[in-house]
Amino acid sequence: MKNRSVYIALTAIFAASCSAGGRDVGGPVTPLLRSAAQPFARGAVGPGLTVTSKFGGQIFGWAIDENGTDGVLTEVTPPSGSPFTSVVETFDQTTGKITKVVRKQSGGPSGGRELFVDAILANDVGLIDDERRHVGRPLRDVYYLMAPVSGKKITGTWTRPSGYDFLLWDIADQQTNPDAIMAATIVAHGISQPPTFEVVVTDVATNKLLQTLYAPHGDGVNYPYFVAEDTTTQHAYVPAANYDSQTVFIDYDIESGHVSNNFVAPAFSGPVAGMAIDSATHMMCTTTGSTYSVQMYDLKTKKQTFYGQIPNSGGEGQAGSSIAADPINHLFIVEQPNSLKGGSEIYVYDEKGNVLESLTGFAFSPLSGIQIVASNRSGFVAARQPNQLQSFTY
């Protein structure tokens, strides 16, 4: 799933100005290195069709079924002004067409309500947050279920964990295990103390809260909050920093509830800006902003196996961001919002750190997010226009 903090930030921007724009860029696919194990005997790669929101409003949350052809998005319309309407829509990945308007609701006179797609989880279960913001009062969000999304209707609700001001930031991107792993915060003491970070393990479809786990004492979980999961070993990882300012990946054993902080990145690796895990090989890929680099980690040994500057970069302004893991072809798909070549690029890395392809012709914000369907080597990112999603093939 796309990083939850991305859309919280975008929501704040929308509330302030409700404006956005995009650049019109284009270009060919550049093969940087091709492996004998990857024959690339397929059709044209690079940007494909676009999905446009039904009413032309800005898309704030979206997800695709990684095992099917359906998807879901939320838009806010009109593009500018208030009051606004928030809409949930389903779409077809193969045609780019909106297939149904599932729900529409007013943002309210103060603009304090907005529908937001959190994720599509295992078995095509969609989770949609009805965000309810009221200044000086607890958050009262309601979480709707679409089980399945292909059914094109709201089927129930998910009960969030108890606690004052529960805020969901990220959900580990996997659609194989019905137990979802969430990164969340609870503001238990108002603004007098920092929020409490939680890893929430829940079966959303059956509305069961399985575990709530916390970070070890002394580790400061990095903002924005990320979580990724190795579904084979059922371990989840959250980037943090220890007292020595080293980057630490807090290791959560989902089955036993044991939490450890002995997975430490080499010095100067930098705070994590994006992460994904190939559960088939137990490899993790991360990006960092301050070092504008890409790293690979072997989760079996907890060792960094690759560190390299992302292509077409000269500083933090060209850093990589979101990552998607391809567990079928054992690849990592990395976004670069701002390339020195102009526009945005998507890089296809193998798990040794080789860049196999560079896909150009994109223009997305640093807060885009990326999701793929590994079985047909396709995916979606934010498009040039704020009311569109862009498909691609790699």
Q: 197-252 pLDDT, tens per residue? A: 999 999 999 999 999 999 988 778 888 899 999 999 999 999 998 877 789 999 99
**Residues present in the chain in total:** 394
Q: If DSSP states are collapsed to H, E and C, what string results for the chain? A: CCCHHHHHHHHHHHHHCCCCCCCCCCCCEECCCCCCCCCCCCCCCEEEEEEECCCCCEEEEEEECCCCCEEEEEEEECCCCCCCEEEEEEEECCCCCEEEEEEEEECCCCCCEEEEEEEEEHHHEEEEEEEECCCCCCCCCEEEEECCHHHCCCCEEECCCCCCCEEEEEECCCCCCCEEEEEEEECCCHHHCCCEEEEEEEECCCCEEEEEECCCCCCEECCCCCCEEECCCCEEEEEEECCCCCEEEEEEECCCCCEECCCECCCCCCCEEEEEEECCCCEEEEEECCCCEEEEEECCCCEEEEEEECCCCCCHHHCCCCEEEECCCCEEEEEECCCCCCCEEEEEEECCCCEEEEEEEECCCCCCCEEEEHHHCEEEEECCCCCEEEEEEC
pLDDT at 51 over 90: yes
pLDDT at 12 over 70: no
Averaged pLDDT of the chain: 87
Instruction: Please report, for residues 59, 113, 269, 272, 338, the alpha-carbon distance to residue 287 in angstroms, rounded to integers and kept in the order given.
Output: 25, 33, 9, 6, 14
Q: 55-104 pLDDT, tens per residue? A: 999 999 999 999 999 999 999 998 565 678 999 999 999 999 999 999 99
Q: In this predicted structure, what is the pLDDT of residue 36? A: 35
Q: In this predicted structure, what is the pLDDT of residue 219? A: 76
Q: How many CB atoms lie within 10 A of CB 218?
A: 11
Any bridge partners for residue 367, and if so which? Answer: none
CB-side exposure of 262: number of CA atoms within 13 Å? 5
Q: 129-140 pLDDT, tens per residue? A: 999 875 556 678
pLDDT at 31 over 70: no
> What residue spans define the domains of the chain?
4-393
Residue with tokens 């979206």: 62
Q: Which CATH number fits domain 4-393: 1.10.260.30, 2.60.40.1730, 2.130.10.10, 3.40.1050.10?
A: 2.130.10.10
In this prediction, residues 153-170 reach a mean pLDDT of 92
> Residue 39: which pLDDT band, with cuts at 50, 70 and 90?
very low
Q: In this predicted structure, what is the pLDDT of residue 300? A: 98
Q: In this predicted structure, what is the pLDDT of residue 365? A: 76
In this prediction, residues 170-178 reach a mean pLDDT of 97
Q: In this predicted structure, what is the pLDDT of residue 189? A: 63
Q: In this predicted structure, what is the pLDDT of residue 79? A: 59
> Residue 20: which pLDDT band, with cuts at 50, 70 and 90?
very low
Residue with tokens 């088939």: 280
For the record, the structure tokens of 359 come out as 């896909």
> Residue 291: which pLDDT band, with cuts at 50, 70 and 90?
very high
> Residue 30: which pLDDT band, with cuts at 50, 70 and 90?
very low
In this prediction, residues 152-175 reach a mean pLDDT of 93
- The closest of 142, 105, 108 to 127, measured between CA atoms, is 142
> Residue 262: which pLDDT band, with cuts at 50, 70 and 90?
very high
Q: Which residues of 101-129 are buried (b: 16+ CB within 10 A; e: fewer)?
A: ebbeeebbeebebbbbbbbbbbbbbbbbb
CA torsion 301-307-310-314 (nearest 10°) is 150
CA dihedral (157, 158, 163, 168) positive or negative: negative
